[in-house]
Amino acid sequence: MRDESTDTMIESSVGNEPTTGAEPVTPIRVLLADDHALVREGTRRLLEAETDIRVVAEAGDGISAVQEADRTTPDVAIVDVAMPGMSGIEATRKIKSTHPTIAVLALTAYDDDQYVMALLDAGAAGFMLKDARANDLVEAVRAVHRGESVLQPHVAARALRRAVSGRTTGIPMGAMPLSDREMEVLREAARGLPNKDIARRLNLSVRTVHTHLGNIFAKLSVGSRTEAVLLALRRGWIALEDTEVTADPQAATK
- 191 and 231 within one domain: yes
Number of folded domains that form the chain: 2
SS3 string, the chain, reads: CCHHHHCCCCCCCCCCCCCCCCCCCCCEEEEEECCCHHHHHHHHHHHHCCCCEEEEEEECCHHHHHHHHHHHCCCEEEEECCCCCCCHHHHHHHHHHHCCCCEEEEEECCCCHHHHHHHHHHCCCEEEECCCCHHHHHHHHHHHHCCCCECCHHHHHHHHHHHHHCCCCCCCHHHCCCCHHHHHHHHHHHCCCCHHHHHHHHCCCHHHHHHHHHHHHHHHCCCCHHHHHHHHHHCCCCCHHHHCCCCCHHHHCC
pLDDT category at 230 given cuts 50, 70, 90 is: confident
Assigned domain for 16 exists: no
Domain hosting 143: range is: 26-153
Residue 213 and residue 119 share a domain: no
Is 215 inside a domain boundary? yes
| Residue 10 clears pLDDT 90, i.e. is over it | no
Out of 5-9, 82-86, 152-156, 220-224, give the one with best mean pLDDT.
Answer: 82-86
Domain annotation covers residue 166: no
Task: Point out the domain boundary residue: 86, 118, 153.
Answer: 153
pLDDT in tens, 114-143: 777 788 888 888 888 888 888 999 999 998
Over range 198-217, report the average pLDDT.
90
Q: Same domain, yes or no, for 34 and 148? A: yes
Q: Does position 30 have pLDDT exceeding 90, yes or no?
A: yes
For residues 227 and 178, membership in a common domain is answered with yes
**Are residues 42 and 136 both part of a single domain?**
yes
pLDDT category, 8, cuts 50, 70, 90?
very low
What percentage of the chain exceeds 90 in pLDDT? 35
Question: Whole-prediction pTM value?
Answer: 0.70
Q: How far apart are CA 41 and CA 53, in angstroms?
A: 15
Q: What is the pLDDT of residue 203?
A: 93
Same domain, 59 and 125: yes
pLDDT at 226: 80
- CA 242 – CA 191 distance, rounded (Å): 7
Is 13 part of any domain? no
Residue 223 maps to a domain = yes
Do 197 and 83 have their domain in common? Answer: no
CATH of the domain at 123: 3.40.50.2300
User: Looking at residue 211, which CATH number applies to its domain?
Assistant: 1.10.10.10
C-alpha to C-alpha distance for 54 and 45, rounded to whole angstroms? 10
Of 39, 136, 45, 146, which Cα lies nearest the Cα of 88? 39
Q: Is residue 28 pLDDT above 50, yes or no? A: yes
Q: Are residues 138 and 36 in the same domain?
A: yes
List of residues 6+ apart from 18 with CB closer than 8 A: none
Same structural domain, 86 and 204: no
pLDDT digits (tens, 9 = 90+) for 37-94: 998 999 999 999 999 999 999 999 999 999 999 999 999 999 998 888 898 999 999 9
Confirm whether 6 is domain-assigned: no
Are 41 and 99 part of one and the same domain? yes
Task: Give the pLDDT band (50/70/90) at residue 251.
Answer: low
Please provide the average confidence, as pLDDT, over all residues in the chain: 80
Residue 7, pLDDT above cutoff 50: no
Query: Biggest alpha carbon distance in the chain?
Result: 58
177 pLDDT band (50/70/90 cuts)?
A: confident
* Predicted local distance difference test score (pLDDT) of residue 227: 83
Instruction: Give the residue among 47, 40, 99 at the shortest CA–CA distance from 74.
Output: 99
Residue 21's contacts (CB-CB under 8 Å, 6 or more residues apart) are: none
